[in-house]
Structure 1
Amino acid sequence: MLTRNCLLLFLWGLVNEGSVSSLRPPSPPLGRSRTGREHARSSAGPMRNGAAGFQRVKRGWVWNQFFVLEEYMGSDPQYVGKLHTDLDRGDSAVKYTLSGEGAGSIFTIDQTTGDIHALRSLDREEKPYYTLRAQAVDIDTNRPLEPESEFVIKVQDINDNEPKFLEGPYMASVPEMSPVGTYVTQVTATDADDPTYGNSARVVYSILHGQPYFSVDPKTGVIKTALPNMDREVKEQYQVLIQAKDMGGQLGGLAGTTTVNISLSDVNDNPPRFSKSFFHLRVPESSAVGSAVGRIKAHDLDIGKNAEVEYTIVPGDGGAMFDITTNEHNQEGILILKRPLDYETKKAYTFKVDASNAHLDPRFQSFGAFKDTATVKINVLDVDEPPVFNKPSYVMDVYEDTPAGTIIGAVTAQDLDASSSPVRYSIDWKSDLDSYFDIDPVEGTISTNELLDRESIAQHNISIVATKLSNPVLTSRVAVTVHVLDINEFPPELASPYETFVCENAKVGQVIQTFSAKDQDLPSAGQQFSFRSPKEDLKNKNFTIRDFGNNTAGIVTKRGGFRRRLQEIYFLPVVIDDNGYPPKSSTGTLTIRVCGCESDGSLLTCSAEAIFLPVGLSTGALIAILLCIVILLVIVVLYVGLRRQKKKETLMSSKEDIRDNVIHYDDEGGGEEDTHAFDMGTLRNPKVVKENLYRRDIKPEMKRGPRPAISQDSADIRDFINQRLKEHDTDNSAPPYDSLATYAYEGDGSVAESLSSIESLAIDLEEDYDYLSDWGPRFKTLAGIFGEQSETQSDSTTTENTH
C-alpha cells in the first residue's frame, strides 16, 4: 500500500509539473511556443499579480495528458488529475464540465475545483485510453468562458497477464540420427500486457521437460536437437514441455506452458536381414508356369519406403527356371516358376537370393553393404501328368466341297512320364455339334465327315482331347482351327438393278452411268471384276462399255440425237468376269431410257416416275397417293351401293304388304323338284291349308287309296297333281314328316309372277337352252341336262301329236 501511495505521489508530481502548460483550441503555427510561455505565466501568475501589479492578458488551461493505474483496488475513487483555468480566481464563479468517453460513468469531475477521479477499476487490455472534453463555464449564466478542449486519460499497464501459447500443443518431426542443433520447430507465446511499458510483456522461453534430448532458444522459442544419433528404432516419440515467462524471466513474472510432441522420422539406416540363411521348398512338377511356388522374407527395421526390399536371384542353377518378385503389402519374396518342371529331367534346384533396399541413403553406406543373402533349395515332386501336345494349337486348311473322308491334318500328344502310357484321341462333341469332322483315336488324323460349304461356315473351331490310356482321368486339350478355303462357285453379277437414262441432247462419248458388280464368293476383299461388251454386241452403234479398272465400269454413248418418239428404251448387255479359279462370268442387261433433259443435263421427263422426280416426290409418296385414291374410290362405291339399297327398300314398302308365316322344322324337303314332299297347290291357294290341316310331326294311320288315271288335258293334269299331292299327304311312307309352311306366296298381280316350278313347267316347255353351250366349259354339265330335257319334251310332243 505504501508503495502504491508513493507511486501515486510521484505521478502526481509529474502531473503537476506538466500541467502548468496551457492549451487552447487550434491556433496558428506559433501556438505551441505560445503555450509554453502561457505555462510559465500560469505558474507564476498569482505572485506577479500580487507583487508587481502585473495582470495577465491571455487565458490558459492548466492541464496535460493524464494517467490512471489499471486494476486499482482502493476503497476511494482513484485520483486522476486537476483542471484549472486562469479565469478561475477561487471565488467559485467558474464551473468545470466533463464530456466524452466514460464521462459520468467512469470519470467524474468536481465542478468547483476541477479534480478528476476514476469511479471504478480499469483494464488496459480492455481499453488502453479514453478521450474526453473539458470546458469552463460561468456558474451563474452557464456561458462558456473558454472554448471546449480535448484531452486523453491513459490506463497505465501493470503485469496482470501471463504469456499464452495460442497454437499449442505443437506437433513436430525431425529425422533420426540428426546432428546436434538440428532445427525441430518454433513455439511462440504472446503477452497481453503493454510491450512499451516496463518488462510486463518481455517473454523468455525455457524447457521444463525434454532434456537432454532437445533445447529451446530463450528469446526466439526455436527448439533444436541436443543429442546426436537419436535412433527411431530405439525411441520414436518425445514429449517436451516449454515454459514462457514474462518480466524477462525474473522472479515474480507470470508464466505459461505448452507441450511439443516430437517424433523421429525414419531414415534408411538399417539393411534387410533374412530370418534364416537356408530355405527348403518342395514343388510338384505339375505346377503351372507363372504360378507361385514358394515365399521367403527378409526383415527391415525401417518403415515406409525405407523398408522396401528388392529380391534378386543370383545367376546360377535356378536363374533360368525361377523368378522372384516382392509383395508390396508385406515385403515377402515370391518365387515364380518361369519354365515347366520335369521330375524325369531334374529333381532339385539350388540357388541364392539377395535382399537389398530399394532406396539407399548415402550417409549410411559407410556402415557396410545394405543387403543380405540366403540359399534356396527346391525339390521337384513327381506327379502323374496328362499327355502333352507337341503344339499349343493347330491350324488346318481344307477346300470346300472336299469329299467326305479326306484327311486334312493330324495332332500328336505323348505321355512324358516314365511309364510312357499310350494316348487316345477324340473330338469334344460340344465343339463339333454337327459332326463335320472325325479323328482316328490312335493316329490322331482328322478327316471330314461331310461336304463343307464356305458360304455357310468359313471357319470351324474344334477341341481335340488326348486321354492317357493308363489313367483316363488325365486328359489334355488342344484347339484346332479349320479354315474352309473358297472355290469360285458363283459368277459375278451387277451390284444392283441400275435405272439408267440418256438425255435426248446427250453428246458422243458421254458417260451416262457408272456401275459395279458383286460376287457371293468370299472373301470379297480381294475380288477383281472386268467388264466388256459381248461379241455379238460389239457393233452396237448407240452405247458401249468402258472398264475403269477399279471394279467399276461406265456406259458411254457412241452417238447423239436420241429421240423418245423413235425409241424410248434401249437394252445394253454387259459381260462381267471375275478373277477366281476357275474364272466365272455372267452377262447382265442394263436398261437405258431416253428422257428429256435440261441443257445442263438435269432430268425433265422420262416416264411416269421420272415426271414426278423433279417435283421431289419419292416412290413411297407416290404409293401413299395411290392408296388414298383407291380408298376414296371404295368409299364412293359403298356410298352408291347404300343409296341403291335404300331405293329398293322404299319400292318394296310401297307395294302390297305380304307377310310370310315361316315355321322352323328340322327335316328339310327335297326342293322344287321334289313334288312328292309337299302340296304345290297350296302355293297357288293358301286357303286350302285351312280346309285340310294335318299333323306332320306324327305318322298318320290312314292307308293309301287307289290312284286315278291321268288325263291328257291341262285341267285333268291339274286335278291329277292335286290328287297325287293329297295322296302323299296321307301316305305314311311319304317323306318328310313335317308341318306345312306357307311361304313365298305372291299376289296375283306380282311383277315377278309365280315362283312355282309346276307353273314354270308349262312356261318353259318351249324354252331353248342351246345358248348354255356357248357359255364355256363351266356350264357344260348344265347345258347337257337342259338339252336332254328339251329332246324329251320334243319327243313327247311329237308322240302326242301322232296319237
Structure 2
Amino acid sequence: MCYCVESCVQKHIQAQVPVMLKPGYVVSHVNLEGCGDGPLGLTASNPAFRVELDGTIQTVFVTMVPKDGLFFWITVQDRKDHRWNVDVSLSSTGQVPNNAVLKRSKRRWSPPPFGIMENGKGPFPKEMDRIASDTSVNYSLYYEIKGPGVTLPPVGLFSVVPNTGMLKVHGPVDREQYPQIVFTAYAYNTLTHAQTDEPLPITVLIEDENDNAPQFSGPMDFTVQEQSPMSTVIGKVTATDKDEPDTIRTKIKYTLKGSTDLFRIDPYSGVMSAATNTLDRETQEKYFVVVEIRDMGGAPDGLSNTGTATVSLTDINDNPPIFSQSMIKGNVPENKADVLVARIGVNDKDLKNTPNWKAVYEITKGNESGNFMIKTDPVTNEGLLYVIKPLDYEKEQTVKLEVMARNEAPLVGSSLNWQKVPVEITVEDVDEGPEFSAPILQLKVKENVPNGTIIGTYTATDPETKSSKDIIYYKLNDPGSWINVMSNTGELKTAMTIDRESPLVSNNMYNITVKAVDKSQKSGTGTVMILIEDVNDNIPVVNGSGLFMCNKGAKQALLINATDLDQKPYSDPFSFELVKPNDGKWRLRDQKATSVMLEPTGDLPNDIYKVPILVKDLQGFGKEQTLSVRLCECTSGGVCAASKLSTALGVWGILAMLLGLLLLLLLCLLCILVCSTKGDKLPMADDDSPGGMLLKSNLEAPGDEVKDVLILLPTSGADVMDSSKEGGYIDHSFGQKHTFGEGMYHNNMQGFLTNTLSSGQYSTGMYGNSFKKHSAMSTMDGLQENRKMLSKKLVYFREEADTRFADDILRPYGFEGVGSPAGSVGCCSILGEDESLDFLDSLGPKFKTLADVCTTKSQRGGK
C-alpha cells in the first residue's frame, strides 16, 4: 500500500501563473488517480495556498509571485500516517491583471514556512531548518528571533543559533492549541550590530496527527411512536473531533453495537431510524442502544468512543378495553332508584390515565325505558351501573342488558373492535304500598260551590292483589282546608268555600295531597290538582284613595282606574257612569276598558269634592262608588301644595283648638288620679315660712272631692322662684320640677291658658319660660309647644311614685288636726261661691299645693 501511494503521486509540479494571484485562483492539481480507495491527507507548506481533497491547489489570499519564482511543497499522508512531499514550482508569466498595481520591492531573504509534527517525540532540542539573509554574502551576520514561541507564549519553544541561523524546537506542541506559530527573525551585522535586512516573519505550521477521539455533542434521548412504519426517523446522533477539520482525522463514522434488528443509523450523518414496524410499547417501553463513533472514516486504527442512546416509545390506542368477566350479574329491589347494581371491570394495556386507557361505557341494549345509567369510575376505570328509575317486580323479574366499553381516543393500529358484555339484573320482590290510579289526578270545579259537593274520587289499589279493599285514605296537605277526603271511599268533597281569587290559588290551580294506607301499614301518596273555574263574584272597584287634581281651570282631567278580580268575560271592559242627580260640575270622557277620564265642566274653587260613580263589568254587575277628589294648587313637582292653616282658621278656630287641648289635658290628669289607688306617705318638714301647719294623715286614697274633679288654681297663688338662682322651684300647676340649662324655668300652663282665654288674643307674657312671645308664634307653633309640655307631664305621671321627688307629687291627706285656719281638708269641696279664701294667702308654700287641688273651678272664677 505504501509503495502504491508513493508511486502514484507525482514528485514535482510546475505551473506558470500571473504575477499577482487572487484568492481562489486555481494554481494546479495533484493527480491522485490510482492511489487506492482510502482517503489521503493533503497539506500545503505555504499558508498562502490550500489543497482540496480532490488535489486542487488554490490561493487563499492575494499573493505576489517573484520573478525568480515561488516554491513550496505539498505533504501527502495516508491512513497509516506515512507521508510524501510533492514539490511545487510557480513561475511568473510576466503578466499582471488589469486591476493589479505593480510595485517594486526590495529583494529580501524569504525562507518557506516550516512544518513540525504535533506531539513530536524527543530527544529535544531538534533542528528544524536554517534561515539565511541574502546580505550574508557581503557581511558577517548573526540572527535573532522574537515573538510567539520565543519571547511570547508558548515561551521558549523555538530558538535560533545566532551564527548559523539554525532554528530549533525545544519540546512537543499541541496543534489543537497552536495550529501555527508566527515569530519574527532579525539579521544583524556582526561588526556594527545594525540590521542588514528587514525583519522577516517566520511561519511554523503544526502538522496535525490523530490524537483526539471524537466526542458526542448532542442529545441522546429520542422518542418514537409505537408501531411506526419502517425507516421512520427517530433522531440524529451528533459528534465532534478536535483534530484538523475537513481531514480524514475528523471524518466520523457512526455504528450501532446492539438492537440492529429494531434500529439503524446512517454511518456518516448519524441519523437513527426504525428498522421495523413492529415496535410495541406494551412489550417494551424503552430501548437502550449503544452507538460507537470512530474517526479516520471508521478505519480500525481510528480513535473511537461509545455512548448510549435512549429510545422511548409513545403510546397509541392499539389495545381496546377487555372485560374481566364474560357475564355480569346483579340484583336490585323493586321500587328503588339511584342504586348501584354492578361494577363492571375492564383491562387495558395502553398507557394508564391517558385517553388511550380511560374507558367509556354505553348500554347498547335493554335500556329502552331509561331505567339504567352507567358511568366510569375515574380511579379504577370500572363501569358503575345504576338504576335511576324504579323497577316493578310485577311487570318484569329479570332485565337483560348489553354494555359496550370503548376508549376516549379512537382505536388505531389494531384489528380488534370495541368489546361488549351481557348483563343480567334480577329484580327482587318487595311488599309495596297502595298505588293510586294516577300519580296526579286533575279535577275541575267552579268556585263558590256549596259545601259538601262531591268533586271527584281518588282511589288506590294494592300492587300485589290489584284490589282497593281495606285501604284507608288520609289528607296530607290542604293549604286552605277546602277539601275533605272520605277515608273509606276516597271521595273528595268541598269543606269550605272555594275561592279562585284566594292567594292559595296559583294559575287557577289548587293542589292537595292524599295518602292511602293498606292493612299492613304500607302507604302511597298522590296529588290532586283542582282547576277552579271562575264565576262572576267580584265587582269592579275604583281606586279612590289619594285622588287629587291640580286646579288649572276647566282644562284639567283625572284618570280613574278600576279593577276586577274576576277573569273575562266577568271583568273588563267596564262601563262608567256618573250617578244622578248630578250637580253638573263633572263629566266623563275617553272611556277605556278599565279606565275613564274625570274632568270638571267649569272652573271650580279648591276644595274636596265627592263624586258618585257607577262602574259595571261586562255582565252588568257593579255598584255605585263615591270618589273623594281634592282640587288644589300644585307645586312644580305636580303634587298639592301644603295648606296655610294659621291664616285660614281665624280667632274662633284657634280658641276651639286651645279649648280642646285644655280638655285633653284635664282628662289625662283625671285619669291619672282616678287610676292611682295608693300614694306613698311623704313626710313634710316645716320650713321657716309663717302660716299654717300640715299634719300627717292616714288616709290611703284620695277623697271623693278630689276624685270627682281636679281644678287648677289661678296663677296668682303660684310661687315662682327666680330662675337666676341655683336649685329649682315647684310648678304648683302640675306639681313638676323643671331644670333648664344652668337656671330654672316655670312651666305655667295655667297662666298661659287663663290669659289667652280671657283676653281673646295672644299674650306677651312668658309661656313655659321658653322665652318666646306668644304674639310671635303661629297657631301651629303654639299647639306644638303645648303638645311637648303635655307629653313631658304625662311621661312624668306614668312613672312610679318612688322615682319622683317627694315634694313634687300630689298626695291625698286626711284630717289635718285642730287649730288649722283652713279647718279640715275635706272642707275645700263644700265651700260656697261667696266664701272667701283669703286665709290661704297666709299659709306656707307647702300647703298651697294641696289647696290648689281642693279648690273648685267656680271658686277660682273660671268660666
User: Quick check: 517-526 or 233-242, which moved more?
Assistant: 517-526
**Alpha carbons of structure 1 residues 767 and 444: separation in structure 2 relative to 1, 3 Å:** closer
**Alpha carbons of structure 1 residues 489 and 162: separation in structure 2 relative to 1, 3 Å:** farther
- 1:210 shift after superposition: 1.9
Alignment of 1:122-271 (within 5 A): 157-176=208-227, 178-183=228-233, 185-194=234-243, 196-250=245-299, 251-263=301-313, 265-268=315-318
Q: Distance in 2 between matches of 1:535 and 1:158?
A: 133
Matched, 1:478 2:507: no
- 1:784 shift after superposition: 7.9
Q: Distance in 1 between matches of 2:432 and 2:345?
A: 32
Q: Distance in 2 between matches of 1:526 and 1:61?
A: 136
Q: Distance in 2 between matches of 1:781 and 1:663?
A: 17
* SS at structure 2 position matched to 1:500: strand
Q: CA RMSD in A?
A: 6.1
Q: Distance in 2 between matches of 1:537 and 1:73?
A: 148
Please name the residue that 1:744 is paired with: none
Alignment of 1:412-451 (within 5 A): 412-418=459-465, 420=467, 422-428=470-476, 431=477, 437-451=483-497
- 1:199 shift after superposition: 2.6
Q: Distance in 1 between matches of 2:202 and 2:690?
A: 139
- 1:426 shift after superposition: 1.8
Alpha carbons 1:493, 1:576 under 8 Å: kept: no
Matched, 1:567 2:597: no
Q: What CA deviation, in whole Å up to 9, does each residue of 1:300-359 have, x standing for no partner?
A: 5556555677777776x8866865746364565555658754433444455666667887
* SS at structure 1 position matched to 2:297: helix
Please name the residue that 1:667 is paired with: 696
Matched, 1:380 2:427: yes
Please name the residue that 1:465 is paired with: 515
Alpha carbons 2:261, 2:275 under 8 Å: kept: yes
Alpha carbons 2:632, 2:641 under 8 Å: kept: no
Q: Distance in 2 between matches of 1:37 and 1:187?
A: 54
Q: Distance in 2 between matches of 1:65 and 1:518?
A: 124
State which of 281, 284, 307 in structure 1 corresponds to 2:333.
Answer: 284
Alpha carbons 1:278, 1:375 under 8 Å: kept: yes
Matched, 1:589 2:627: yes
State which of 567, 578, 598 in structure 2 corresponds to 1:534.
Answer: 578
Q: Distance in 1 between matches of 2:197 and 2:552?
A: 121
- 1:386 shift after superposition: 1.7
**Alpha carbons of structure 1 residues 782 and 276: separation in structure 2 relative to 1, 3 Å:** closer
Alignment of 1:318-717 (within 5 A): 325=374, 327=376, 329=378, 332=382, 341-349=391-399, 364-365=414-415, 370=417, 375-394=422-441, 405-418=452-465, 420=467, 422-428=470-476, 431=477, 437-451=483-497, 454-458=501-505, 462-469=512-519, 471-472=520-521, 474-480=522-528, 488-489=537-538, 491-494=540-543, 497-503=546-552, 512-513=556-557, 515=559, 517=561, 519=563, 521=565, 528=572, 530=574, 532-536=576-580, 540=584, 544-547=587-590, 549=592, 551-555=594-598, 567-569=605-607, 571=609, 573=611, 575=613, 577=615, 579=617, 583-584=621-622, 587=625, 589=627, 591=629, 593=631, 660=689, 667=696
* SS at structure 1 position matched to 2:580: helix
Q: Distance in 1 between matches of 2:184 and 2:597?
A: 114
Alpha carbons 1:135, 1:144 under 8 Å: kept: yes
Q: Which amino acid aligns with 1:391?
A: A
**Alpha carbons of structure 1 residues 32 and 206: separation in structure 2 relative to 1, 3 Å:** closer
State which of 83, 91, 110 in structure 2 corresponds to 1:62.
Answer: 110
Q: Distance in 2 between matches of 1:220 and 1:499?
A: 103
Q: Calculate the TM-score normalised by the size of structure 2.
A: 0.53
Q: Distance in 2 between matches of 1:70 and 1:582?
A: 130
**Alpha carbons of structure 1 residues 18 and 299: separation in structure 2 relative to 1, 3 Å:** closer
Q: Which amino acid aligns with 2:238?
A: A
Structure 1 spans left out of the alignment, 5+ residues: 1-10, 20-30, 43-55, 611-657, 671-733, 742-754, 772-777, 788-803
State which of 129, 153, 156 in structure 2 corresponds to 1:105.
Answer: 153
Q: Distance in 2 between matches of 1:61 and 1:514?
A: 131
Please name the residue that 1:36 is paired with: 66
- 1:207 shift after superposition: 1.3
Q: Distance in 2 between matches of 1:286 and 1:121?
A: 100
Alpha carbons 1:530, 1:547 under 8 Å: kept: no
Please name the residue that 2:4 is paired with: none
Q: Which amino acid aligns with 1:174?
A: Q
Q: Distance in 2 between matches of 1:322 and 1:57?
A: 110
Please name the residue that 1:782 is paired with: 856
Please name the residue that 2:754 is paired with: none
Q: Distance in 2 between matches of 1:78 and 1:392?
A: 118
* SS at structure 1 position matched to 2:273: strand
* SS at structure 2 position matched to 1:224: strand
**Alpha carbons of structure 1 residues 443 and 63: separation in structure 2 relative to 1, 3 Å:** farther
Q: Distance in 2 between matches of 1:354 and 1:443?
A: 51
* SS at structure 2 position matched to 1:200: helix
Q: Distance in 1 between matches of 2:64 and 2:419?
A: 94
- Structure having the larger proportion of residues in helix: 1
Q: Distance in 1 between matches of 2:360 and 2:399?
A: 22
Please name the residue that 1:694 is paired with: none
- 1:424 shift after superposition: 1.9
Q: Distance in 1 between matches of 2:691 and 2:239?
A: 127
In the comparison of the two structures, how many residue pairs are matched?
590
Q: Which amino acid aligns with 2:542?
A: E
**Alpha carbons of structure 1 residues 302 and 568: separation in structure 2 relative to 1, 3 Å:** closer
Alpha carbons 2:232, 2:274 under 8 Å: kept: yes
Q: Distance in 1 between matches of 2:457 and 2:443?
A: 9
Q: Calculate the TM-score normalised by the size of structure 1.
A: 0.56
- 1:218 shift after superposition: 1.6
Q: Distance in 1 between matches of 2:309 and 2:444?
A: 84
- 1:492 shift after superposition: 2.2
Q: What CA deviation, in whole Å up to 9, does each residue of 1:625-679 have, x standing for no partner?
A: xxxxxxxxxxxxxxxxxxxxxxxxxxxxxxxxx9549999983599xxxxxxxxx
* SS at structure 2 position matched to 1:209: coil
Alpha carbons 1:93, 1:139 under 8 Å: kept: yes
- 1:441 shift after superposition: 2.0
Alpha carbons 2:695, 2:817 under 8 Å: kept: no
**Alpha carbons of structure 1 residues 131 and 452: separation in structure 2 relative to 1, 3 Å:** farther
Q: Distance in 2 between matches of 1:129 and 1:574?
A: 129
Q: Distance in 1 between matches of 2:433 and 2:858?
A: 91
- 1:414 shift after superposition: 1.5
Alpha carbons 2:513, 2:525 under 8 Å: kept: yes
**Alpha carbons of structure 1 residues 170 and 41: separation in structure 2 relative to 1, 3 Å:** closer
Alpha carbons 1:397, 1:485 under 8 Å: kept: yes
Please name the residue that 1:701 is paired with: none
- 1:168 shift after superposition: 3.7
